[in-house]
A and B are shown apart, each in its own frame.
Chain A
Amino acid sequence: MQSIKIGIIGAGFIAQQSHIPNYLNNPSAKIIGIADLDKYKLNEVKEKFGIRNTFTDYKKLFKMGVDAVSICTPTSSHSKFTIEAAENGIHVLCEKPMALTLNEANEMISVCKKNNIKFMMGFNYRFIENHKKTKKMIEKGDIGKPFFVHGQFASSGPYSDIKKTGKSFYFDAKKGGGVLYDSGSHLIDLLMWFFGDVASLSAKGTTYMDGIKADDVASVSLKFKNNIVGTITVMWTLVNNWSGMGDESFVKVIGEEGKIVSDFFGPSLKYFNEKSKICRVKGIIQLTPKKFDPKMPFEALNKSWQEEIDQFVRCISKDKTPPITEQDGKRALEVVLKAYQSMGEH
């Protein structure tokens, strides 16, 4: 069977950390080229991954006859690349968030539909095993009826580079920067995957770092249509110590009989149900899906990226609907934009 020909637009962190290595791991996909404005990044990719065809003009990449592209560029360019790819009959895996505005999102949806191409959002946290388990446990009623959720995401994000460069598109709100766009969209998508659409929200946020023009800490209160109340808190931190800050990223769901706390990066979740004998003996317990080692913190995250790529490739080769669609992308974007409105920004 012929491999799916893949192009990558954007040679930055997420392309190098996730898309490129995982396409290389997939026997049904073949990377035939990569495009980026930055020649240094292109050289880096050439040396690191052996990708020979590198371009500063993405149109040349399209002319190579790619079947699908991964869009790994700043948010402000997602719309442009998606529309052009779709008009060329090229399937799209788009990094989050989907776009800067709802108008852009609607246009992307319309063009993809018109050209009958597959569009998948890069919300890979849905593929983290403990999040999958959390969803199943909620649906099975393992904590009774859920009534509250709290999602928190604290990472150094672009602040890990701030001492080196002081620059990143993340720091510019006009280019889709800001922690709510960046991390918030992941969390919002995850919680909507668990509980459905958001009915109403209110948000607060600020920039604590000097010289940055985008939010770096934000908190959103939500009410879902099924009456579940929740909060989302996201932040970029200057503390770059996983062992000290790793437990600041999690999703906590509280139900009538107990709770689940799902580790954001790792493979484990903490579980308590007052009726379970084990929990009555041991209190809150830590559970890990069978195939993961609870002592390897990034194993589940890396595998979620692999699964995202594998699912995208499978959808194209088997002509199936992607598991995370453009509608999911738009729904998450809608909530992010409403949150910014509530914050009085953007």
Chain B
Amino acid sequence: MNKDKVAIVRADNYNQSKAVIEKGCKLLGGLKIKPGEKIVIKPNLCSERSCKTGATTNLEFLRALIEYINNKLNGKCQIYIVESDAQGIDADVAFKRFNLLSLEESFSNLKLVNLSLDADLRITLDDGAAFDVLEVPQTLLHCTYFISLSKLKTHVDQRMSCAMKNQFGCITKKYKSIFHPFLSEAIYDVNNLYQPNLCIVDGIIGMEGFGPTDGSPKRSNLVIFGSNHIATDIVAARIMQLNPKDVPHLRFAMKRKKYSASDFTVIGEDPAKMSMAFEFTGEVPYYIARSGLRIQRWAQYLTWFGEYMQKVRSAIGLVGINTVTSKVCYSDMFRISKAMMFRFSR
């Protein structure tokens, strides 16, 4: 079986974006796209902070990626740049703030989509770790090729925020902090659902310190291209001189998927030579934050248990106790109750 690939490409500045993208995709064996594709690009626009801080996607790089795709397919595809509303900034505001509207003007086959306004359906996840149902935007439902375009950043609660964390923005709910106690599971679920075809982690200017939004710019002069989101993040962690197993959501995904370094090959630049120390918030603040999240997690379990008791009462009330005893089998009630497990229905 073909192993996943991760390519590291040196990049000194954003003027080289076009060449970097071409080289990175070539190292991965080329972009496997064909005319008629509905291509989704998920950039990182979670904050109002400028791309110069390393918090958000660089417009020049994004434009170069779109041009690369259009050149490859002679424009015979539909490209969607997607983002959801976040606590820090609404997607439509972000599109305007970061001048992405200019991309819609430049490319007739490109559309900006606010995922929070695009979902009228929910998908049932049989194998969800955090979610049993998740809102699925129409654009993502009909997407045929998914590109995750993230930044190489630290994270106050997760140590790093790169390829996998980027897909957290595919959750349509604006106030996503309610999922923070279950962030590893939530990140796992969205990646397991959308499984990016191509992950690009822009480390030309990333972020260190109080990431993913309030840190300081960190120049790593590289871009990571990966055909698998877990592999990409493992390499990103190593670049940041982190043990991948110290990153909670990465550790969770590696364990759940039984994924390890032996499942992918690294090509291009040597990660050992490209790695550099990233400043983190410090172990004590990190563990204080993690403890707080753990307490919230247990509080959520108790809340769910209480809601579960209410639902059992409602299920009986909905059909009526007479109907329950005369028409509905107890196996029906058991099946419904069993389905109300301790998971999010979002």
List residues of A whose CB falls within 8 A of some B CB.
133, 142, 160, 240-244, 268, 273, 275-278, 281-282, 285-290, 293-299, 302
Contacts and interface: CB of A to CB of B under 8 A. Distances in A.
Given A241-B331, A287-B121, A276 B336 contact: no
Contact of A290 (B122, B146, B193, B335): B122
B142 A285 contact: no
27 contacts: A160-B327, A241-B329, A242-B329, A242-B332, A243-B329, A243-B335, A273-B142, A275-B38, A275-B142, A276-B141, A276-B143, A278-B136, A278-B143, A281-B195, A285-B123, A286-B123, A288-B123, A288-B124, A288-B133, A290-B119, A290-B120, A294-B122, A294-B133, A295-B336, A295-B339, A296-B318, A298-B318
- B133, B143, B327, B328 pick with most chain A CB within 10 angstroms: B133
Given A294-B133, A295-B336, 18 more contacts: A242-B329, A243-B332, A276-B143, A277-B146, A277-B197, A278-B141, A278-B143, A278-B193, A285-B124, A288-B123, A289-B120, A289-B122, A290-B121, A290-B135, A294-B122, A296-B318, A297-B336, A298-B319
A243 B120 contact: no
Contacts of A241: 329, 331-332
Nearest to B124: A286
Contacts of A268: 124
B121 A288 contact: yes
Interface of B: 38, 119-124, 133, 135-136, 140-146, 193-195, 197, 315, 318-319, 327-329, 331-332, 335-336, 339-340, 345
A275 B144 contact: yes
A299 B318 contact: yes
A273 to B, nearest CB: 7
Given A142-B142, A276-B143, A282 B193 contact: yes
Nearest to B335: A243
B140 A278 contact: yes
A287 B146 CA distance: 20
A240 B141 CA distance: 36
A286 B134 CA distance: 11
Contacts of B135: 290
B327 A294 contact: no
A293 B345 contact: yes
B346 to A, nearest CB: 10
A133 B141 CA distance: 14
- Chain A to chain B: the 4 pairs with minimum beta-carbon distance, closest first: A286-B124, A287-B121, A243-B332, A295-B339
Contacts of B193: 278, 281-282
Contacts of B119: 290
A39 B112 CA distance: 64
A295 B132 CA distance: 10
Given A142-B142, A296-B315, A278 B123 contact: yes
B71 to A, nearest CB: 22
A268 B125 CA distance: 13
Contact of A294 (B124, B146, B319, B335): B124
Contact of B194 (A277, A288, A290, A299): A277
A295 B126 CA distance: 12
Contacts of B140: 278
